[in-house]
Amino acid sequence: MLNITDNIVHCENELADLKAPKHNMLSLWHISARNLLLTLLAVFIVFLFLPWTQNVRGDGKLTTLRPEQRPQTIHATISGRIERWYVTEGQRIHQGDTIVFLSEVKADYFDPRLVERVADQVSAKERAIQSYSGKFRALESQIAALQREMENKIQQIRNKIRQAELKIESDQAALEQARVGIQIARRQFEGTKILYERGLKSLTEFEEKKGKLQEGEAKLVSAETRLASGRNDLEIYQTELQLTRNEYENKIAKAEIEKFSALSDRYDTEATVSKLQIDRANYDRRRQFYYILAPQDGYIVKAIQPGIGEIIKDGEPVVSILPADYQLAVEMYVRPMDLPLISAGSKVRFLFDGWPAFFFSGWPGISLGTFGGSVAVIDRNISSNGKYRLLVAPDPTQTPWPAALQIGGGAKGIALLHEVPLWYELWRTLNGFPPDLYQENNTPEEKKGNSFMPKMPVKNAK
């Protein structure tokens, strides 16, 4: 037994008949279990090196990619009373179809010929504008005539003033002549008087010279009178010129005031016409709002204001519709810590409510019943639930989404990230690190600080 001799002891047959060795020998079951554990351990180690796709999960619901394709509520533009329904719930409608007819409830619009009466007011005011325009033109003609008349009058007075000035010049010349004549007559009279006193001249000659002196004095007084009269006439003409100018300027100013008054009245009337035209257009437009029309093709979902005779206010919802043509998308919410890992165009897999699925988050290639999507919109602002909203459109390169999907249905989204070994994903999950936290393109300082972390190759590292 100690292998210290070459002699062989053949005791197998003798031991086979003993009971104790039989009880101490290992059974075949123990050997099989050991082999099984070793095999499982080997398989587990192999699995640890299999590629694993990191992912970010989020719940969402079906919606549409464009806002105008989402369910909408039609509101009443004006206050009114429901008179008639033209549709039923669930009915298919086309753009422009009448949904509800309303009647008027405000006393200001009860007149059935309100638009026609306002149109008559507009016509009357437009004729008034024409009248004011005619008055304005007539006043302009009157002002022009007054200006011409004033110029003629002023020219006449200026001619009189010129005549008076010429007459004054003539009278001044006559006055100078009279003064010279009286001086001559006075010298002759004085000389004749001296000679008469000496007896050299006769009394007749003396009286003749005296008469000529008196005649010269009379001419001087007459010339002075005529000159004073001429100057007085000149002052009168000058005063008349100023009075005429003031008179006509007052007339022209009064006509200008009337002209601008007519112009102001015309502008006021034009403003009134514009207001009446706005009122007429508003009344005519209000008539069109009696009929609530479908804004686009779709289906009647729910009548919010049912019944006949109910009074609704402007802005109140009347009916909700679902557009007929829409492009589905999923409104998905992710945590803020996961948002930097997702960008426009990122791939997402969905599990829709009502569609059975068999999904492996780490191996999406072997999943069944899931549908692909691509991130189209990422909100820049956080939502009220503390998460960020994503809009994910169908991926045209993947299997089309089921045609029976309806807006509002639930969906569970799995945003696919990078592929890493399975052991790294287990280690990351146990330590609570976010996906794709460590990358191989770190700076030397970061590599030195993270030297204890394994450097895993990451696909499409950002």
Q: Where are the domains of the chain?
A: 51-68+326-449, 71-104+290-322, 114-288
* pLDDT above 50 for 443: no
- Tokens 């010049």 belong to residue: 169
pLDDT exceeds 70 at position 389: yes
Nearest alpha-carbon partner for 435 in 450, 419, 451: 419
Which stretch, 131-145, 194-208, 218-232, 339-353, has highest mean pLDDT? 131-145
Considering only residues 189 and 141, tell me which one the structure prediction assigns the higher pLDDT.
Answer: 141
Judge contact between 213 and 185, C-beta under 8 A. Answer: yes
pLDDT at position 17: 59
Query: 347 Cβ partners below 8 Å, 6+ apart?
Result: 372, 373, 374, 395, 415, 416
- pLDDT at 15 (0 to 100): 54
Of 119-123, 210-214, 224-228, 396-400, give the lowest mean pLDDT range. Answer: 210-214
pLDDT of 441 reads 46
Say what the pLDDT of residue 11 is.
54
Residue at token pair 């504008």: 129
The per-residue pLDDT for 345 is 86
| Residue partners of 402: CB distance under 8 A and separation at least 6 | 352, 355, 371
Residue 275 has pLDDT above 90, yes or no: yes
pLDDT at site 180: 83
Angle at 366 between CA 362 and CA 367, to 5 degrees: 80
pLDDT at 92: 93
Question: Residues 238, 168: contact at Cβ < 8 Å?
Answer: no
Cα separation, 396 vs 258, in Å, equals 78
Instruction: Give the pLDDT score at 361.
Output: 52
Q: Which residue has the tokens 């990122």?
A: 346
Q: Which residues contact 324 (CB under 8 A, 6 or more apart)?
A: 92, 296, 297, 298, 299
Amino acid at 122: V
Average pLDDT over residues 68-72: 88
Higher pLDDT: 394 or 203? It is 394
Q: Which amino acid is at 282?
A: N
Tokens of 226: 């005529």
Cβ neighbour number for residue 182 with a 10 Å cutoff: 22
Q: What is the mean pLDDT of residues 28-55?
A: 73
Between 185 and 60, the more confident residue is: 60
pLDDT value for 33: 72
SS3 8: coil
**Which residues are registered as beta bridge partners of 60?**
332, 411
> What fold is seen in the domain 71-104+290-322?
OB fold (Dihydrolipoamide Acetyltransferase, E2P) (2.40.50)
Mean pLDDT computed over every residue of the chain: 80
* Amino acid (1-letter code) at residue 71: P
pLDDT score at 56? 76
Residue 305: pLDDT over 90: no
Residue type for position 100: V
Angle at Cα 144 formed by Cα 138 and Cα 148, nearest 5°?
145
pLDDT tens, residue by residue, 152-167 = 999 998 898 898 888 8
Place of tokens 């003609």: 141
Instruction: Calculate mean pLDDT across residues 400-424.
Output: 80
Mean pLDDT of 33-61: 77
Q: What is the pLDDT of residue 451?
A: 37
Confidence bin at 176 (pLDDT 50/70/90) = confident
The side-by-side arrangement of strands in the sheet containing 80-85 is 291-293, 98-103, 80-85, 311-312
* Of 6-20, 129-143, 230-244, minimum mean pLDDT range: 6-20
Confidence of residue 75 (pLDDT cuts 50, 70, 90): very high
CATH code of the region 51-68+326-449: 2.40.30.170
Q: State the pLDDT at residue 454.
A: 39
What pLDDT score does 36 carry? 79
Say yes or no to pLDDT of 100 above 60. yes
Q: 426: which 2 tokens?
A: 């287990």
In this predicted model, which residue has the larger pLDDT, 389 or 429? 389
Reply yes or no on domain 114-288 having CATH 1.20.1110.10: no
User: H or E element: which one contains 175?
Assistant: helix 114-198
**Contact between residue 435 and residue 54 where contact means Cβ atoms under 8 Å apart:** yes
Confidence of residue 54 (pLDDT cuts 50, 70, 90): low
Whether the pLDDT of residue 221 is over 70: the answer is yes
The angle subtended at Cα 349 by Cα 346 and Cα 353, nearest 5°, is 140
Residue that wins the pLDDT comparison between 381 and 36: 381
pLDDT at res. 440: 45
- In this structure, of 6-15, 24-33, 240-249, 283-292, the range with the lowest mean pLDDT score is 6-15
Average pLDDT over residues 35-47: 79
HSE-CB of 148 using CA atoms within 13 angstroms: 6
Asked if 63 contacts 413 with a C-beta cutoff of 8 angstroms, the reply is no
Share of the chain above pLDDT 70, in %: 81
State what percent of residues in the chain have pLDDT above 90. Answer: 28
